[in-house]
Amino acid sequence: MNAAVTATRSATALDVAAIRRDFPILHQTVNGKPLVYLDNAASSQRPKSVIEAISRYYEHDHANVHRGVHTLSQRATDAYEGARETIRRFINARDTKEIVFVRGTTEAVNLVAQSFLRPGFEPGDEILISALEHHANIVPWQLLREQVGAVLKVIPINEQGVVDFDEFQKLIGPRTKLLALAHVSNALGTIVPVEKFIKVAKQHGVPVLLDGAQAIPHTAVDVQALGCDFYCFSSHKMLGPTGMGVLYGKRELLEAMPPWQGGGDMILSVSFEKTTFNQLPWKFEAGTPHIAGAIGLATAIDYLEKIGMDRIAAYENELLEYATERLSALPGLRIVGTAPDKAAVVSFTLDGIHPHDIGTILDTEGVAIRTGHHCAMPVMDFFKIPATARASMSFYNTREEIDRLVTALEHTRQVLG
Amino acid sequence: MDLKDLYRDVIVDHNRHPRNFGKLQPADVHADGHNPLCGDRLTMYANLKGEHITDVKFEGSGCAISVASASLLTEAVKGKTKSEVKELFDDVHALLTQHDAAVDPARLGKLAALSGVREFPARVKCASLCWHTLNAALERAAEPVTTE
Ligand SMILES: Cc1ncc(COP(=O)(O)O)c(C=O)c1O
């Protein structure tokens, strides 16, 4: 019995020491202390393999894609399109045509707003979001409000930071044109049980967009199993380069959507009278793309898959439990966002000490966390606080680092008395 | 970077016990200041007699640096003329941003406690928010009163 337990343990446990050796940036001191990086929800760090894949590409294979007959252009095109296949497999999309490269989650949401919703939108049509959205899943819809009179409806959250499913069922209706939901909240860590929301949306014939920016680095995502129509994510939060992201969209929907930017690469032929647009997914990729970004992202996915998303999720959950337990024990510390199902994010306030001061004092102890509104000001308003301090963990973090966070918080208390 | 340089005793004290804190009623001028990056919100109130600031108060919430800075400001500007306040703001701004700032410590008085902020560039805005807000309030006073 004991042996069996040990065996399963070792099959799932991560060799975190070895993993940490893959991340060069973690091995430095900040303000004279070993760096503790707990700002992964803002942006993760990159393993050597990703950094090297990008350098290798620039050192050996770079040329423009889809253009030249020469060898380098062929190699660059193969690597770029190969990356698309890696991403398709990672999220289990049916077809690489459904994988559109964009700059990040923000651009993906804007693309859907302008190219999917805007044409054919009638004033008074509704978009349904939740109260825990990142600004990236609020502002693009507000622009539509200015442009075509869209009505933005907001599903409330409760004190734990859980999206109210009953209210959602009341809010969805015949004028709802899209349900746009965070899969995981960046400010609170709430994992939204999107499956049941999608099921109801489907009954109403309402398409669903998921903002997966915080979900995809931490859990396995299967877009077909989810049944969502669009899924948006950013490479820089999942070990990949910045300036790179993905819009997954169901092929039928993408086919019917007009291009959203014009230029090279998104056309088949151009004359001054008539332009024929390229096929999917290139129809949405005007101009020279971020080739190295796609290659870096695919390499990041290889790295994540080598470890295994399930093991990552399990380990991060252990870290979350440990951090929650240690932080809750600190006098005057209040955790903001206590949903039963959470990603490894702990947002908190300390009685009488502003998060900004916490951030500065922690930094002098080498501990990097995020303080502020986390681009989710409506969430702060809901909890009637101006800001929180947020520690967000990744699989390369350790319990010892959480201990360092706790010690630094005790020190904060001393400094500000 | 020495934390003790930023959170000097004067700063910690003024954060815990802000002076001239609360609403000034009635107030000749007031203005709201907001630092969206960290969520600091301040309202500065002032009463004027001619060019002189006869009373000043503030309310709001913010980090230790912004609250202490506002508290120190209220003590420093009371009784000064608008142009003296402007000069003082220039001195404080130099103190917050320049290493070799040629400001006379005697003129700054307790405000000199803010000098540690310049080692923490991310915090300069916290310390200057109250000054910008007071400026806005005073400038508004100079605007012609609308008679709608
Ligand atoms: C939930 C969520 N949505 C969207 C975004 C925006 O991502 P990006 O800035 O990479 O476009 C973020 C990033 O902070 C996020 O956490």
User: How many angstroms away from the CA of A358 is the closest CA of chain B?
Assistant: 9
Whether A299 is in the pocket of ligand 1, judged by its Cβ within 6 Å, is: no
pLDDT in tens, A80-96: 999 999 999 999 999 99
Query: Are B38 and A364 a contacting pair at CB < 8 A?
Result: no
Please say if the pLDDT value at position B148 is more than 80: no
Q: Tell me which chain B residues have a C-beta less than 8 angstroms from the C-beta of A417.
A: 12, 16
Q: B63 to chain A: which residues are within 8 Å by CB?
A: 354-357
Mean pLDDT for the stretch of residues B122-142: 90
- Does the beta carbon of A115 lie inside 6 Å of ligand 1? no
**Residues of chain B neighbouring A361 (CB-CB closer than 8 A):** 3, 7
Does residue A1 have a pLDDT over 80?
Answer: no
A375 classed as catalytic: yes
- Phi/psi of residue B87, nearest 5 degrees: -65, -40
Phi, psi for A220 (deg, rounded to 5): -70, 130
Q: Is pLDDT of A11 > 70?
A: no
Which residue's entry shows tokens 């439990």? Answer: A321
Please report the ipTM that was assigned to this predicted complex. 0.86
CA distance A413 to B58: 25
Q: How far apart are CA A94 and CA B131, in angstroms?
A: 58
Instruction: Indicate the pTM of the whole model.
Output: 0.92
Token output for B20:
């001239």
Residue of chain A whose Cα is closest to the Cα of B125: A356
Q: Which domains does chain B have, with CATH numbers?
A: 3-142 (3.90.1010.10)
Cβ pair B16:A373 closer than 8 A: no
* pLDDT given at position B1: 65
Residue with tokens 């950094």: A51
> At a CB cut-off of 8 Å and minimum separation 6, what does A318 contact?
none
Q: Beta strand pairing status for A267-270 and A275-277?
A: antiparallel
Residue to mutate (ligand 1; options A184, A186, A379; most atoms within 8 A of CB): A186
CB contact under 8 A, B39 and A357: no
Report residue B46 CA to chain centroid gap.
12
CA-closest candidate to residue A336, choices A384, A370, A404? A384
Q: What CATH topology corresponds to A308-416?
A: Aspartate Aminotransferase, domain 1 (3.90.1150)
pLDDT score of A406: 98
Find residues 66-85 of chain B whose CB sits inside 8 Å of chain A.
Answer: 67
Q: Tell me the per-residue pLDDT of A140-191, one tens digit each, with 9 for 90 and over.
A: 999 999 999 999 999 999 999 999 999 999 999 999 999 999 999 999 999 9
Instruction: Give the integer Cα–Cα distance in Å for B102 and B124.
Output: 18
Instruction: Name the percent of chain A lying above pLDDT 90.
Output: 89
Band (pLDDT 50/70/90 cuts) for residue A12 is low
Please check the confidence at residue A79 and state whether its pLDDT lies above 60. yes
8 Å CB contact between A240 and A86: no
Of A364, A373, A416, which has the smallest distance from its Cβ to B39's Cβ?
A: A373
Query: Which residue has better confidence, A266 or A210?
Result: A210
Check if A180 has its Cβ closer than 6 Å to any atom of ligand 1: no
**A242 Cα distance to chain centroid:** 12
| Dihedral class, residue A35 (left if φ above 0, else alpha if ψ from -120 to 50, else beta) | beta
Contact between residue A307 and residue A315 where contact means Cβ atoms under 8 Å apart: no
Average pLDDT, chain A: 95
Specify the DSSP element, H or E, that contains A7. Answer: helix A2-12
Residue A7 pLDDT exceeds 70 = no
Q: Which residues neighbour B114 within 8 Å (Cβ) at sequence distance 6 or greater?
A: B11, B65, B68, B69, B72, B92, B95, B96, B127
Inter-residue contact B95 to B108 (CB < 8 Å): yes
Task: Give the chain B residue whose CA is nearest to the CA of A362.
Answer: B3
Measured in Å, residue A134 CA sits from the centre of ligand 1 at: 7
Decide which of A29 and A260 is more confident: A29
**What residues does A163 pair with on adjacent strands?**
A157
Whole-number pLDDT of residue A5: 44
Q: pLDDT tens for residues A279-290?
A: 999 999 999 999
The predicted-structure confidence for A193-225, as pLDDT tens digits, reads as follows 999 999 999 999 999 999 999 999 999 999 999
Determine whether the shortest distance from the Cβ of A397 to ligand 1 is under 6 A: no
Q: What is the mean pLDDT of residues A227-235?
A: 98
Taking the domains of chain A in order of start, what are their residue ranges?
50-306, 308-416
Confidence check: pLDDT of A251 > 50: yes
| Catalytic residue (one of A375, A377, A385, A406) | A375
Looking at CATH, the fold of the domain delimited by A50-306 is given as Aspartate Aminotransferase; domain 2 (3.40.640)
Residue B51 CB neighbour total at 10 angstroms: 11
